[in-house]
Amino acid sequence: MTECPGVVITGVSGRMGQMLVREVLASDKLKLAGALERSGHDWVGRDLGEAMGGAPLGVVVSDDPLEAFARAQAVIDFTAPAATVEFADLAAQARAVHVIGTTGLSEDDLARIHKAAHHAVIVRAGNMSLGVNLLTTVTKKVAAALDIDWDIEIIESHHNKKVDAPSGTALMLGEAAAEGRGVKLDEVSDRGRDGITGARKQGDIGFHAVRGGDIVGEHEVLFATAGERITLKHVASDRSLFARGALKAALWGQDKAPGEYDMLDVLGLKD
Ligand SMILES: NC(=O)C1=CN([C@@H]2O[C@H](COP(=O)(O)OP(=O)(O)OC[C@H]3O[C@@H](n4cnc5c(N)ncnc54)[C@H](OP(=O)(O)O)[C@@H]3O)[C@@H](O)[C@H]2O)C=CC1
Ligand SMILES: O=C(O)C1=N[C@H](C(=O)O)C[C@H](O)C1
């Protein structure tokens, strides 16, 4: 029998980090090869299971990514942009599949990730759920079918600890709508109106971010014209769906050539 690929989880104390650990431990296709936190974090040096408030797991939380990645076949990373670009370089050096869920990445960050993907497989998506990725394909089709007099607005809602806006998912949906319309998102994007903004510019794609309580993630794409509206909506009520998508990506990437991929590739939804 072939051995399960070993996976390192970064940012293990985080909301997604802990969810990913649970999903890897429950998986019979991947094994936990390491757990990372930033230097100085009080989980570093502790047993991961105990740090999470449970029984010991025999995995000590480390702050040494290169050493951890060298022992792994995959890295699953839901942290922050500054950490993710470092991890992309190090995972590529170790030739480990790097699954990136981190959002809020700048153009410079994306360029660095693109470079790292010359040497290893990188799967990156602002949302790892099947439902959202399907929604992007539907959004693209609806946008392609409708005239410019249908206004497109994207409304996202998240918990009050989220640090970036618009969400990675909202941007994926915006890209899909822009692609469907045959325009560039950065030329039509209108983010968070405020004050005397003037009338809505035809062809713009609007973004609105709601933050409150413990909302896991909700995304709505509104197509509105005179006399009628279409609303496409996805609601995530449990973070485990993002974690399961990430595990699927880590496995899928094992036999792929170096390069940048997304969840549409993993889910077989690319057209
Ligand atoms: N693609 C998807 O499907 C999804 C993406 N996300 C994205 O994942 C990311 C994390 O979300 P969430 O888990 O809620 O956030 P949390 O803040 O709960 O967790 C982030 C973790 O990353 C750690 N971290 C941050 N910076 C560094 C660093 N420089 N080096 C090492 N570790 C670091 C944090 O440590 P510390 O506490 O010390 O800062 C923390 O443990 C966000 O970008 C979010 O948008 C979330 C859900 C789904
Ligand atoms: O920060 C979150 O929580 C989430 N982030 C992702 C995003 O920015 O779209 C995915 C999901 O909506 C949860």
Phi, psi of 101 (to 5 degrees): -105, -10
Residue 203: the pLDDT is 98
CA atoms of 83 and 43, how far apart (whole Å): 17
Indicate which atom in ligand 1 lies nearest the CA of residue 246. Answer: 3
CA atoms of 226 and 139, how far apart (whole Å)? 20
In a domain, 169, yes or no: yes
Q: What is the CATH number of the domain that holds 244?
A: 3.40.50.720
∠ CA 224-205-104, nearest 5°, is 135
ipTM here: 0.99
Determine the distance separating the centroid of ligand 2 and the alpha carbon of 249, expressed in angstroms: 17
Alpha helices in 13-73 (DSSP H): 15-26, 48-51, 65-70
Q: Is the CB of 127 under 6 A from ligand 1?
A: yes
In a domain, 27, yes or no: yes
Tell me the binding residues for NAD(+): 11-16, 37, 101-103, 125-128
Q: Give the residue numbers spanning the domain of 107.
A: 6-124+239-267
Quick check: pTM over 0.90?
A: yes
User: Around 148, how many Cα atoms within 13 Å sit in the side-chain half-sphere?
Assistant: 8
Residues 39 and 171 in one domain: no
Same domain, 111 and 21: yes
Query: Angle 73-120-69 (CA atoms, 0-180°, nearest 5)?
Result: 35
Quote the number of domains for the chain. Answer: 2
Beta strands 217-225 and 228-236, pairing class? antiparallel
Ligand 2, CB within 6 Å, residue ranges: 103, 126-127, 158, 162, 167-169, 217
169, 119: one domain? no
The question of whether 201 is a catalytic residue gets the answer: no
Statement to judge: residues 115 and 213 lie in one domain: no
For the question of residue 161 being annotated catalytic, the response is no
Structure confidence at residue 2 (pLDDT): 72
For CA atoms 110, 249, 94, 34, the dihedral sign is positive
Question: Which positions ≥6 away from 37 have C-beta within 8 Å?
Answer: 11, 12, 13, 43, 44, 61, 62, 63
What confidence score (pLDDT) does residue 213 get? 98
Q: pLDDT tens for the chain, 271 residues: list them.
A: 578 999 999 999 999 999 999 999 999 999 999 999 999 999 999 999 999 999 999 999 999 999 999 999 999 999 999 999 999 999 999 999 999 999 999 999 999 999 999 999 999 999 999 999 999 999 999 999 999 999 999 999 999 999 999 999 999 999 999 999 999 999 999 998 999 999 999 999 999 999 999 999 999 999 999 999 999 999 999 999 999 999 999 999 999 999 999 999 999 998 8
227 shares a domain with 251: no
Query: What is the CA(56)–ligand 2 centre distance, in A?
Result: 30
**What local confidence, expressed as pLDDT, does residue 174 receive?**
98
Protein residue with least CA distance to atom 1, ligand 2: 162
Q: Are residues 151 and 229 in the same domain?
A: yes
Catalytic residue among 31, 41, 162, 256: 162
Same domain, 200 and 228: yes
Compute the Cα dihedral for 12, 79, 124, 242 and give only its sign: positive
* Residue 209 resides in a domain: yes
Cα separation, 148 vs 86, whole angstroms: 41
Supply the pLDDT for residue 18.
98
Decide: 104 in ligand 1 pocket, CB within 6 A. Answer: yes
Residue 229 CA to ligand 1 centre (angstroms): 36
Q: What SS3 state is found at 211?
A: strand
Residue 95 neighbours by CB under 8 Å, 6+ apart: 119, 120
How far apart (Å, rounded) are the C-alpha atoms in residues 7 and 261? 18
Rounded to the nearest whole angstrom, what is the distance from the C-alpha of residue 159 to the centroid of ligand 2? 9
Residue located via tokens 């997304």: 262
Protein residue whose Cα sits closest to atom 26 of ligand 1: 80
Question: CATH number for the domain including 177?
Answer: 3.30.360.10
Task: Determine, yes or no, domain membership for 1.
Answer: no
Tell me what pLDDT residue 146 has: 98
